């Protein structure tokens, strides 16, 4: 199979999350272009996405 995988019935995200992959690629692109502001934004957005979607509660 190629492309997007469906979220499993257990509610866990597909292993290579396309959204995470997208933000990491965007961050790498921004860094390559020397755009630190954009790279920092990508990190924030990636973390926000992970907190919202992957919902791994830590330290509680
Ligand atoms: Zn993700």
Tens of pLDDT along 23-56? 999 999 999 999 999 999 999 999 999 888 887 5
- Tokens (6 digits) for 37: 């502001």
CA of 50 to the centre of ligand 1 (A): 5
CA of 59 to the centre of ligand 1 (A): 20
Residue written as token pair 């973390």:
47
Q: What is the pLDDT of residue 23?
A: 96
- d(CA 60, CA 53) in angstroms, rounded, equals 18
Q: Which residues of 36-45 are buried (b: 16+ CB within 10 A; e: fewer)?
A: eeebeebeee
Q: Is the dihedral of CA 22, 26, 27, 31 positive or negative?
A: positive
Q: What is the pLDDT of residue 42?
A: 97
How many C-alpha atoms does 13 have within 13 Å on its Cβ side? Answer: 15
Q: What is the pLDDT of residue 46?
A: 94
Q: Tell whether pTM > 0.85.
A: no
Q: What is the pLDDT of residue 19?
A: 93
CA of 53 to the centre of ligand 1 (A): 6
Q: Could you tell me the residue ranges of all domains in the chain?
A: 18-54
């Amino acid at each position: 199979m190629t492309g997007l995988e469906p979220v499993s019935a257990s509610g866990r995200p597909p292993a290579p999350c396309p959204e995470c992959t997208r933000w990491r690629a965007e961050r790498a692109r921004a860094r390559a272009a020397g755009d630190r502001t954009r790279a920092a934004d990508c990190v924030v957005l990636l973390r926000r996405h992970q907190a919202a979607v992957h919902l791994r509660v830590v330290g509680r």
